[in-house]
Structure 1
Amino acid sequence: MGPVVSSVSEQLESVDFFHVDVDEAPELAQKFGVQSIPTMVLIKDGEEANRSVGFAPEEKVKEFATS
């Protein structure tokens, strides 16, 4: 997922992307209920707005990030 998300982050200037290593930040993974890798969590106005679990191609990541 890393290369796909990196590519999308370069295309979407209005969206901030963050990568979290769940082994290095287990408390954050627990806070967001991450049980499978990869998981993308979309946060809008401080609230979870959407969630995607599993690999997604570039176009789906763009749709997810702009939903």
Structure 2
Amino acid sequence: MRPVVSKVSEQETDVDFYYVDVDQSSDLASQFDVRSIPTMVLIKNGKETNRSVGFIPEAKVKEFAHS
């Protein structure tokens, strides 16, 4: 997912993307109930508004970022 998300993050400048290593940040993974990798969590105004688990292609990442 990293190459796909990296490409989208370069195109979508109005959205911030962050990577979290769940092995090094287990507290954060637990806070967001991450149980599978990859997981994307969309947060708007401090609240989770969407979640995607598993690989998704570039077009779907763009849709997800703006959902």
1:7 corresponds to 2:7? yes
Give 1:64 shift.
0.1
Partner of 2:39: 39
Gaps of 5+ in 1: none
For this pair of structures, how many residues does the alignment match? 67
1:10 & 1:66 partners in 2: Cα distance? Answer: 15
Deviation at 1:43, TM superposition (A): 0.1
CA distance in 1 between partners of 2:38 and 2:13 (Å): 22
Equivalent residue number for residue 63 of structure 1: 63
- What displacement does 1:45 show? 0.3
Match of 1:25 in 2: 25
Return structure 1 stretches of 4+ with deviation > 4 angstroms: none
- 1:6 is displaced (CA, Å) by 0.1
Instruction: Report the counterpart of residue 49 of structure 1 in structure 2.
Output: 49
Give, in whole Å, the separation in 1 of the partners of 2:33 and 2:14. 26
Cα RMSD (Å): 0.2
Q: Report the Cα distance in structure 1 between the residues aligned to 2:34 and 2:13, rounded to whole angstroms.
A: 26
